[in-house]
Amino acid sequence: MAQVASPTAALAGIPAGLQAQGVWAGHRQLFVRFAAEGETATMYTADALANEIRRGTTRSAFHSISISGRDPLGNIEYLCAAFDKLSLQIPVMLDCDGQRPAEIEQLRKVVKLAQVTLDGSALDAQGDRALESLRVAADAGMEHALILNVDERTTDSQLLRLVERAHATSGSSKVVMHPATGTPVDRDRRWMTLFERAAALHRDVRLALRLPPPTGMR
């Protein structure tokens, strides 16, 4: 009987580092990073990825594993094949842009925290599918979070609208707002006023600074 080939994907590495953003920011993680265009990539079979995760988590202490990088859910068959081979003692976090909600449920046995991250100009354009991803994660029994990375184009009304919609999607959602690096949050009353309004819309809203690279990874 012919042996079925192990699925393969292009990864930008399986590095160790500190999570830069979101609910588990500052925790030491082992990152499964899918390569973006222009990044140096290495082809890993699902068997090879499982072996690297097993080896890494045996040799060093990690809070969790992060599945991240460019479009990780575009490789759902690969992820399922790799993690089916593992018996992990630490939780797994999925960090994605929320544009493939249908695939999230397939990781319900693997992922503890599904973190949907929206960056600046994508807040409105990708909002509908991101919130659908939040709903799917909630229905699958995962912890779920909406991460809003603010830039100079982001308005208060955009942020508040997404907080309100996250609350309507799931009252258990965690919402984390990250000001852009270098934003003078200590001298700008905007953030206290914005946070007060956001907290009135949803119970679990957080304002936090991201860890910049190379210390912070995602």
Q: What is the pLDDT of residues 85-97, one digit of tens each?
A: 999 999 999 999 9
- Does residue 200 surpass a pLDDT of 90? yes
Task: Give the mean pLDDT of 16-39.
Answer: 95
Q: What is the pLDDT of residue 3?
A: 55
Q: What is the pLDDT of residue 121?
A: 72
- Does residue 120 surpass a pLDDT of 90? no
- Does residue 158 surpass a pLDDT of 80? yes
Q: What is the pTM of this model?
A: 0.92
- Greater confidence, 125 or 173? 173
Q: What is the pLDDT of residues 61-82, one digit of tens each?
A: 999 999 999 999 999 999 999 9
**Based on C-alpha coordinates, what's the Rg of the chain?**
18
- Does residue 187 surpass a pLDDT of 90? no
Q: What is the pLDDT of residue 39?
A: 85
Fold of 8-209: pyruvate-formate lyase- activating enzyme (3.80.30)
* Position 191, amino acid: W
Q: What is the pLDDT of residue 181?
A: 84
User: Tokens 């809070």 correspond to what residue?
Assistant: 63
Q: What is the pLDDT of residue 55?
A: 96
Q: What is the pLDDT of residues 104-113, one digit of tens each?
A: 999 999 999 9
Give which of 144, 132, 70, 74 is closest to 108, Cα–Cα: 144
Token readout for 151 is 């830039």
- Does residue 136 surpass a pLDDT of 60? yes
Q: What is the pLDDT of residue 58?
A: 95
- Does residue 115 surpass a pLDDT of 90? yes
Residue 4 — very low, low, confident or very high, per pLDDT cuts 50/70/90?
A: low
CB atoms inside a 10 Å sphere around CB 65: 25
Task: Give the mean pLDDT of 38-50.
Answer: 93
Q: What is the pLDDT of residue 124?
A: 79
CB atoms inside a 10 Å sphere around CB 213: 11
